[in-house]
Amino acid sequence: MKHYRSMISPYVLWAFGFIIIPFIMIMVYAFTDGGLSLTDAGFSLDSFAEMTDSLYFTVFTRSFSTGILTTLLCLFIGYPMAFFITKFDERVQGTLILITTIPMWINLLLRTYAWIGILSDNGLLNSFLKMLGIGPVSIMYTGIAVNIGLVCNFLPFMILPIHTSLSKMDPSLLEAAYDLGANKVQAFTRVIFKYSIPGVLNGVIITFLMAISAFVIPKMLGGGQFTLLGNLIENQFISVGNWNFGAAVSLILAIVILAAISFLKRIDPDGTV
């Protein structure tokens, strides 16, 4: 045991340097009012008061509703996919899982540019619709574009934990359900789905957290028309320069994430998070 403990120490150092210190800085900035400077700053809750401004409040609600919508869509698309994958034998399953994760290996910017190419006014989608004689649709720089981007981006994070859960299920449980009189639908709702709940919760929470804190996709596919929390934070730090306010918003987001992860740890101690 001792032996292993000493191997952890570099990680502790690393965590201290790159996680703990920045987190303390965020706390300090969030509760002060001196802008960039820390020397002539005093304790203040102004940044939090500022969040109640309806402009920012809209960003919060938009972020959460986008997060919820993205999560639900990922769940309704991802669950059947994960379920479908478990129907193959193990070797094929491995390959299929690899295929679903391929997008994760491609740079996020490239992927997002690809979406711009597809969704823009004279992009692939509209050319295709034109061939069918349906008028062009303008979805680039709308919530729809952002949602499509987010769903496609986070789908693997929904499929993986659900598939993990489902593939752990002993097939004889399903036979037991049939044996006890369950038809296919009942066997699914009462046994398969219940068995996969830890995986579903895992996927739901991870997807939701990533969706509410996303900023590259909403920025590029939303084109500034569709600001989410991540964009708000980015803007405050990079273009507006109001570090105190940016830090306060980051802190709220961090608290939501930590709360969600500790909840997840409680319900599914050996999950993937």
Partner 1 sequence: MKNKLIELKNITKSFDQQEVLHNIQLYIRPNEFLTLLGPSGCGKTTILRIIGGFEEADSGEVIFDGKDIAKLPPYKREVNTVFQKYALFPFMNVFDNVAFGLNIKKVSKAETKKRVLEMLKLVGLEGFEKRKIDQLSGGQQQRVAIARALVNEPKVLLLDEPLSALDAKLRKEMQMELKKIQKKVGITFIFVTHDQEEALSMSDTVVVMNHGNIQQIGTPIDIYNEPKNRFVAEFIGESNIIPAIMKKDMLVAFDGVDFECVDSGFAPNEEVEVVLRPEDLVLTPPQFGKITATVTDITFKGVHYEIILKGEHRDYKAQTTEYHEIGTELGISVIPSNIHVMHKMKEV
182 near partner 1 (CB under 8 A): yes
The tokens for 112 are 């997002």
Burial-class residue 90 by CB neighbours within 10 Å (0-12, 13-18, 19+): exposed
Which of 38, 176, 240, 258 touches partner 1 by CB under 8 A?
176
190 near partner 1 (CB under 8 A): yes
User: Cα(153)–Cα(107) distance, rounded to whole angstroms?
Assistant: 11
134 near partner 1 (CB under 8 A): no
**231-270: contacts with partner 1 (CB under 8 A):** none
Close Cβ partners of 247 (under 8 Å, ≥ 6 residues apart): 25, 26, 27, 28, 29, 30, 47
Instruction: Provide, rounded to whole angstroms, the least separation between the CB of residue 165 and partner 1.
Output: 11
Q: Closer CB to partner 1, residue 30 or residue 204? A: 204
Question: How many residues form the binding site for partner 1 (CB under 8 A)?
Answer: 18
Instruction: Provide, rounded to whole angstroms, the least separation between the CB of residue 200 and partner 1.
Output: 12
- CB burial of 215-230 (b: ≥16 within 10 Å; e: otherwise) equals bbbbbbbbeeebbbbb
Q: Closer CB to partner 1, residue 234 or residue 268? A: 268
Check the CA dihedral 103-105-107-110 and report its sign.
Answer: negative
Q: Which of 26-34, 178-186, 203-211, 216-224 is the region at the interface with partner 1 (rule: CB under 8 A)? A: 178-186
130 near partner 1 (CB under 8 A): no
The residues that touch partner 1, with contacts defined as CB under 8 A, are: 170, 172-173, 175-183, 186, 190-191, 194-195, 197
